[in-house]
Chains A and B, each alone.
Chain A
Amino acid sequence: MSESPLTRRRFVASTLALAGLAVLGPAACGPSWDRRRAARSLAGFAGYAEAWGAVGQEYLAAYPEEKGLGSITEALVTDLGWQPWEPEGPRADEPPEPTEGPESGNVPESGEVPESGEVPEGAPVSLETRLHDRVAEEHRTAVTVQVESWILSRTEARIAALIALLGPESLGAPAGDS
């Protein structure tokens, strides 16, 4: 069975994978940056921060080597190929062109977003898109951890840990209902 045609997310995932090879340790070699602020940005997309925080607590307990906010943030920044000192691309739910969201009851299979959402080559990639693509790729290639019995990608587990360390309440009101 063949994969579905190249979609925006898959396109980004593949370029990211390549970029990930080329860009080694942006955290280590970039200009100075504020780790706490970056951590808050990384945690910012979580609608259900409290739930993430609870998962993060368990993760930190199970993987004590993942200690400090700073080191987890650095690891994430490196894995995501994100340069926190650079301006962000558009948010995942704010495509560059106005698009119609998938109609309710007719949502495309994962990874397939409307063609109009294509990101031109070289355009800045939003942190959320990076995050999504990295998490998907980690699941696909088994870069995973087990928290209690649940399989999480290493990146999503680390985001959960960040939220636990920052304190979910400090991240503001949840985006969705809870």
Chain B
Amino acid sequence: MDDNIFEKLKILSDAAKYDVSCVSSGVDRKNNTVGSIGNAAACGICHTWSADGRCISLLKILLTNDCIYDCKYCMNRVTNPTNRATFTPEEVAELTIQFYRRNYIEGLFLSSAVEKSPDYTMENLYRVLYLLRYKYNFWGYVHVKGIPGASNDLIQKTGMLADRMSVNIELPTRESLSLLAPQKKVENLLKPMALINHEISRTIDDKKHFSNTPRFVPGGQSTQMIIGATPDNDKTILNLSQNLYDRFNMKRVFFSAYIPVISAPNLPAISTMPPMLREHRLYQADWLMRFYYFKSEELFTETEPNLDLEFDPKMMFALRNMDKFPIEINKASYEELLRIPGLGVTSAQRIIRERKNAELSYDSLRKMRTVLKRAKYFITVKGKYYGNINFDPDRIKDEVRQQEIQKQISIFDLV
């Protein structure tokens, strides 16, 4: 590695760090290749936490930030004067393997600007994966970006070596895209997604007949969109995610709160705070869609096309649908239990498991460490309501606000 390696790593990790996906889960693969290094644990392992409290599990870098495109929201756009750097594929492979051996990381998340042409860039990404897999025999986790506009052949070859591939959808609507990323056509973004999805199902099918067919991106594909750079509402955003989940079998749709880094006519002012809370709410809603059997349309009404910033989406849903509550703990189905604010998967499973022994009382819920602070307003136990106040959305909101204030005070007491 040459002397510039520190400089390159700095520039190219800086450029990648706003990329949100730290997740390395979804693939569980034992190391069974002779002479190889690496396994991929499905539970997702965090290796450290940076000063912003985010989990670091992958080496997340760009191959290059030298871009020919001019997306308005991006630091790397061709018209922005910034320091440029490009790793050689060898350097990326070497860094990955050395970090991996020391247990710093679970694997590599490799993204890239478009250098020279989509094919040129995709070819280099492929080189990195090839070196890792065949020169270093590395079988740890690799997530690689698919470059829109690259040839099918290159995407196909690369996907055979990657655990996950993602093509960013970038912005939630066609209008937003043509405004801010004029060189990116919706069709060019959707085409590789469709290809990846097709290859995934094809290799899964083949595997049924030939057991040694290698799988195409066994960790599936994901995508990402920027939140808050355009006026699109939460309903539009979540409907699109739902669509992406359904149409392309996406494993994850990631959201990234737009951090203003440059001023441009169509963008929020540089002084705008990134919409962190909104991003957080969108993730909570996304979570509800993936694990709690919610559909995006259930969350919104004609007049309320956005999530509530004050209350989490499940709480918001309950408050907007009071007729579906309170729910009787001893009778509710698993899916119904999951709709109770404050009640998670573990609690719901515990309730199902334990109520087989005997009817549950309010006290036994407490003993199960079920968090009842919010749930109590939305449940009955053996027919009795424990909320202590009228079953009325405004009263409940007030109570929960009180709880929040008390929580804040006790945090201040500590410091």
Q: Do A and B come from one complex?
A: no
A residues at B contact (CB < 8 Å): none
